[in-house]
Amino acid sequence: MNYEKYMNICIQLAKNGEGKVSPNPLVGCVVLDKDGNQISTGYHAKYGENHAERDALLKLKNGEEKDGTLIVNLEPCSHHGKTPPCVDLIIERGIKKVVIGMRDVNPIVNGVQKLKNAGIEVIEGVLEDKCKELNEIFIKNMTQNKPFVAIKTATTLDGKIATSTGSSKWITSSEAREEVKNIRNRYDAIMTTSSTILADNPSMIHNKKIILDRCLKTDLESKIYKQGEIYLFNQTIDMFEGGINFIKTPSKENKLDLNFVLKRTNELGIKSILIEAGGHLNGEALKYADKIYHFIAPKITGDNSSLSCFDYRKISEISESSEYTIDSVEIFEPDILLTYYPNR
């Protein structure tokens, strides 16, 4: 049986929950009857709503799933949370075989054992790496109790995000900029700085926005403040006013303490952050970054005084560079998107 084909369907279904299930994982499910025909699909659509397995099984009303196979990218749950345990429903419906992509990293889940105890065959590890990448945010949150941090940047071929005069519109194509909206949707919040707001006055439409403005230099009439929940980290005031959460933050060497910012955002329930800023924050954030989305346009400024996408230190040896592993290269004509992870 080619379970990989169905696991890919699970992954696609799971992505329907992007932007809506946090802090829960993205989960999709396919059910086959005893002859191997696909009879139902489901996914976890929204935080607090049915899990993928329940969604798929509740669509079946006539017992067609008896002795069938259930395929799901994450180990079915065995705990009473917002919904009853999925394993109980799987057992009750007479499923004979369960195929999973990865074990659940949530320590309260012990679904595989419960299924086996009920005499159900369990096949594990189908497209495991792909399933882990799908839920990289959930895995980091559960195992480290820290938000997942990603950086998005858009540069020329020579790694520049603007000229020395600050001209940056537009480096990448509208197709690439459309993709940024899809990327944003995967993250609980976006993060930017006063420098970016002052230079570009962007709107950055999103539910939650983290703004680093140490000296409260930005005009609260800037476009970014017109929409979304605002968390304004600064070194002076701690209050909620005019719909803005001002958060007083310690600073070091004239920079807000990013460690503090990430801790506070985690406490506020923000489990994943996409940084969209200039070279200084991008550089400072590299040590926290779990993933980088780097759009590159086929343009060269050829000017060393143009601004670089990561700009935070001086090194003398190339061996001091931080190293990364490229995960994918996608084309958004005429630009490319490189996705890479730090080698840690």
Does 51 bind ligand AOF (CB under 6 A)? Our answer is: yes
Rounded-to-10 torsion of CA 90, 17, 173, 130:
-30
Residue closer to ligand AOF (CB basis): 10 or 258: 10
The residue of the chain with the least Cβ separation from ligand AOF equals: 81
In this structure, the dihedral spanned by the alpha carbons of residues 131, 135, 138 and 141, taken in order and rounded to 10 degrees, is 90
Determine the interface stretch with ligand AOF among 82-90, 198-206, 292-300, 304-312 (rule: CB under 6 A). 82-90
Nearest-angstrom CA–CA distance, 274 and 229: 15
- Residue 77 contacts ligand AOF per CB under 6 A: yes
Query: Does 109 sit near ligand AOF (CB under 6 A)?
Result: yes
Q: Give the torsion through C-alpha atoms of 92, 95, 98, 103, to 10 deg.
A: 0
Beta strands in 255-334, from DSSP E residues, in sequence order: 255-256, 272-275, 291-296, 307-308, 324-332
Binding mask 191-210 for ligand AOF (x = CB under 6 A): --------------------
For residue 283, count CB atoms less than 10 angstroms from its CB and return exposed for 0-12, middle for 13-18, buried for 19 or more: middle
Contacts of 303 (CB under 8 A, 6+ apart): 160, 163, 164
Give 55 or 213: the residue with its C-beta nearer to ligand AOF. 55
Q: Which parts of 44-103 interact with Zn ion (CB under 5 A)?
A: 51, 77, 86
* Stretch of 75-83, 157-165, 188-196, 291-299 lying at the interface with ligand AOF (CB under 6 A): 75-83
| Alpha carbon separation from 130 to 74, 79, 125, 177, 205 (Å, rounded) | 11, 25, 10, 25, 29
Rounded to whole angstroms, the Cα distance separating 260 from 257 reads: 5
Q: Which is nearer to Zn ion, 49 or 229 (CB)?
A: 49
- Considering only residues 30, 52, 176, 190, which one is a binding residue for ligand AOF as defined by CB under 6 A? 52
Which SS3 state, helix, strand or coil, does residue 291 take?
strand
Asked if 74 is part of the footprint of ligand AOF (rule: CB under 6 A), the reply reads: yes
- The residue from 5, 82, 181, 248 that contacts ligand AOF (CB under 6 A) is 82
Q: Chain-centre distance of CA 296, in angstroms? A: 21
Catalytic residue among 4, 18, 49, 53: 53
Please choose which of ligand AOF, Zn ion, none residue 25 contacts, taking the beta carbon within 5 to 8 angstroms, the exact cut-off set by kind: ligand AOF
CA distance 190 to 330: 22
Identify which of residues 109 and 296 has a Cβ nearer to ligand AOF in the complex: 109
24 binds ligand AOF (CB under 6 A): yes
Q: Is 114 in the site for Zn ion (CB under 5 A)?
A: no
Single-letter code of the amino acid located at 254: N
CB of 86 to Zn ion, least distance (A): 3
Binding of ligand AOF at residue 256 (CB under 6 A)? no
Nearest in space to 131 (alpha carbons), one of 107, 97, 98, 105 = 105
Instruction: Report the SS3 class of residue 166.
Output: coil
- The least distance separating Zn ion from the CB of residue 72, rounded to whole angstroms, comes to 9
> Which does residue 194 touch among ligand AOF, Zn ion, none (CB within 5 to 8 A, set by kind)?
none
Binding-site partner at residue 168 among ligand AOF, Zn ion, none, CB < 5 to 8 Å by type: none
Asked about 323 being catalytic, the answer comes back as: no
The residues that touch Zn ion, with contacts defined as CB under 5 A, are 51, 77, 86
Just list the catalytic residues. 53
The residues that touch ligand AOF, with contacts defined as CB under 6 A, are 24-25, 27, 44, 51-53, 74, 76-77, 81-83, 86, 104, 106, 109
